[in-house]
A and B are shown apart, each in its own frame.
Chain A
Amino acid sequence: MSDSKPRLRVNPIRCDGARYCAEIVPELVGLDEWGYPIVSSAPIDEPRLLRMAERAVSECPRVALQLARFRDRDG
């Protein structure tokens, strides 16, 4: 189940739509009409993009954004 490529993930309960992430990595985070992030779940390959994703994670005022290295399990 584990794959080592990190991907962005948002905790929607914590998130209150501060929009920092969409400004920092617009390549990976879009916004809906209410200002909540639509986060790409694709694994992040490119080092530059990964650095920006890491920055977005550390800038999130609600600590809602995370870089996950494991796929969510279902069931």
Chain B
Amino acid sequence: MTATAVVAPLLAPPLRAERAGGPRLLAGPPFELGMEPMAEHRRRLGRRPVGGEWLLDVIERSGLRGHGGAWFPTHRKWRGVQRLALERGPSVVVVNASEGEPLSAKDRFLAEHRPHLLIDGALITAESVGADDVVIYLSRASRRAHRALRHALGERGRDDGRVAHVRIVQTQHRYVAGESSAVVRRINGGPAKPSFSPPHPSERGVLGRPTLVQNAETIAHVGLIARHGDEWFRERGTSTAPGTGLVTVTGNVARPGVYEVNLGTSLVSVAGLAGGVLSAPAGLLIGGYFGTWLDAERGAAAAASPEDVSLGCGVIGMLGSDGCGVGESARIVSYLARESAGQCGPCVHGLRAVGEAMTRLARGDADHGDLARLRRWSEQIVGRGACNHPDGAVHNLRTALETFAEDVERHISGHACAGLGTCPLPAPPRSPFGWR
């Protein structure tokens, strides 16, 4: 790590204006205190409003989108489930906090520290889409989040006027376990593996009922929008990406961790929140393992907003100046190949082949034939699995080959990665307590 001697745009100090307003989801007592108790939550935010059809329009006007990775408009998902609930009886709401993405810690950070906001959001959502069953879906590895949520549910008893039943279902800590059809299969007693759609979970999900599977952070936003309204929500962020979002900043920064930013904030300021980068970055990975690789120049110009570069699940990974994007992408696609649910041929065989060829490339053992095959596979595999797992993996591959084209050529002429075997983008600890 060369210190601040290297002057790069990303080393610029954060712009104060872009942080204006402070955190929303993460407002409240210091994180060292652990979970926010119910008394403090009530004192700070008051009792929760009761959800209902009125909220559908509010959510639509707020412009809230799913913060799990796909950024799908929340109101559209809600309306589909609500309409089916009117026709066929009560629906189910699943709060997806499984967070199988190794670089992300935001959902469990939220559940650990603000469980009452999450439960508020879940109950309000249930009332709005006609659900009488709420499932909080967690990875078995998120022990601290599990404890906080259980404790929070106990603290409430039934005095919050809820009609929906709330339960916690734990799942294996696997990458695909958070995919919506895998979520439904697991809750129904099966393996946490994706199924082939149709039917989509919104049509036939948990116990065959219409089911809304929504990322935990998105649900927490609902808890605030229902209280403060859509205009309040839009005071932050941009017109097309309103509000705030949680990001996990990892890699070559002074204080890696979970932060809340206004959407549309430049990546330079996000890095500034995390204490700034420690050396000029060799590359940035935006959106986690399924994300997009940027070089330092594009990274310095980009904003944390879905239409600039997709934030995906909100991971911003900074490679140090000694890192190699090709080597890191090789490590990631090999991991994703191992994390395949093993159900679909194109994913099982395709990702394995991609991982092996990328590893050869990073070692300096690949030829132009390997590169041509990697390029072909990055097109050919897309859309041929039951879920988006293979698509996400080859998106990482494709953007690595484009962004690090010069490094790719150097590797083909026989040079191995200097940092091979190291891990420049470390996964956050299983419990991020004390991590930031």
**Which residues of A come within 8 Å of B, CB atoms?**
11-17, 32, 34-36, 38, 70, 72-75
Q: Does B54 contact A (CB under 8 A)?
A: no
**B346 and A36 contact, CB distance less than 8 A:** yes
B196 closest partner in A (C-beta) = A11
Nearest residue, chain A, Cβ from B70 = A75
Given known pairs A32-B350, A75-B72, the reply for A12 and B343 (CB within 8 Å) is yes
Is B30 an interface residue when CB atoms closer than 8 A count as contact? no
The prevalent SS among residues of A at the interface is loop
| Contact indicator A12/B198 (Cβ below 8 Å) | no
With both beta carbons as reference points, the residue of chain B lying nearest to A39 in the complex is identified as B384
Interface centre among A11, A13, A72 (most CB of B within 10 A): A13
Report yes or no: A36 in contact with B196, Cβ–Cβ below 8 A: no
State how many angstroms separate the Cβ of A6 from the closest Cβ of chain B. Answer: 15
A53 to B265, CA, bound (A): 51
A54, B118: Cα distance in complex, Å: 49
Q: Measured between C-beta atoms, what is the minimum distance from A10 to chain B in Å? A: 8
**Could you list some 5 contacts between A and B, CB below 8 A?**
A12-B343, A12-B346, A32-B349, A36-B349, A73-B198
Nearest CB in chain A: distance from B191 CB, A: 12
B21-34 interface code vs A (CB 8 A; 1 in, 0 out): 00000000000000
Q: Are A13 and B343 neighbours in the complex by a CB distance under 8 Å?
A: yes
B80 to chain A: which residues have CB within 8 Å? Answer: 75
Residues of A within 8 Å of B385, CB to CB, are: 12
Cβ of B198: which chain A residues have Cβ within 8 Å of it? 70, 72-73
B340 to chain A, nearest CB (A): 12
Interface residue SS majority, chain B: loop
Judging by beta carbons under 8 Å apart, are A14 and B346 in contact?
A: no
Chain B: CB-nearest residue to A10: B384
Q: A12, B384: Cβ atoms under 8 Å?
A: yes
How far, in whole Å, are A16 and B92 apart by their CA atoms in the complex? 34
Which of these, A34, A72, A73, contacts B345 with CB under 8 Å?
A: A34
Contact with A along B333-373 (1 / 0, CB 8 A): 00000000001111101100000000000000000000000
Size of the B side of the interface (Cβ < 8 Å), in residues, is 22
- Chain B residues near A (Cβ < 8 Å): 70, 72, 76-77, 80, 195-198, 200, 202, 343-347, 349-350, 380, 384-386
Q: Could you tell me the distance between the alpha carbons of A33 and B206 in the complex, rounded to whole angstroms?
A: 37
A35 to B134, CA, bound (A): 43
Contact at A15–B345, with CB atoms within 8 Å? yes
**Bound-state Cα–Cα, A17 to B348, Å:** 12
Q: Is A13 touching B350 in the complex (CB atoms < 8 A)?
A: no
The 8 Å CB contact of A12, one of B72, B76, B386, is: B386
A12-B344, A34-B345 given; name 15 further pairs at CB < 8 Å: A12-B347, A12-B385, A13-B196, A15-B344, A15-B345, A17-B345, A32-B380, A35-B345, A36-B345, A36-B346, A38-B380, A73-B198, A73-B200, A75-B80, A75-B200
* A13-B386 in contact (CB<8A): yes
- Please tell me if the beta carbons of B349 and A34 are within 8 angstroms of each other in the complex: yes
Closest approach, in angstroms, between the C-beta of B181 and any C-beta of chain A?
11
- Flag if B380 contacts A14 (CB, 8 Å): no
- State A70–B343 Cα separation when bound (angstroms): 24
Q: How far is the CA of A72 from the CA of B198 in the complex (A)?
A: 7
Most B-side CB within 10 Å, residue of A32, A72, A73: A32
Residues of A within 8 A of B350 (CB): 32, 34
Distance (whole angstroms) from the CB of A2 to the closest CB of chain B: 12
Question: Which residues of chain A come closer than 8 Å to B200, judged between CB atoms?
Answer: 73, 75
- Using known A-B contacts A17-B345, A73-B200, A75-B77, determine if residue A11 contacts B386 with beta carbons closer than 8 Å: yes
Contacts of A73 in B (CB 8 A): 198, 200
Given A32-B380, A38-B380: A12 and B345 within 8 A (CB)? yes
Chain B residues closer than 8 Å to A17, beta-carbon distance? 345
> Are B386 and A75 neighbours in the complex by a CB distance under 8 Å?
no
- Smallest CB separation, A16 vs chain B (Å): 7
A13 to B341: give the CA distance in the assembly, Å.
10
Give the residues in chain B near A32, CB-CB below 8 Å: 346, 349-350, 380
Report the bound CA distance from A6 to B247 in whole Å: 43
Nearest neighbor of A36 in chain B, beta-carbon distance: B345
Q: Tell which of B70, B197, B202, B347 touches A72, judged by Cβ atoms closer than 8 Å.
A: B197
Which residues of chain B are within 8 angstroms of A70 by Cβ–Cβ distance? 198
Residue of A nearest to B194 (CB): A13
Distance of A33 from chain B, by nearest CB (Å): 8
Docked pose: A16 CA to B343 CA in angstroms: 9
* Closest partner residue, chain A, to B203 (CB atom): A73
**Chain B residues with Cβ under 8 A from A72's Cβ?**
197-198
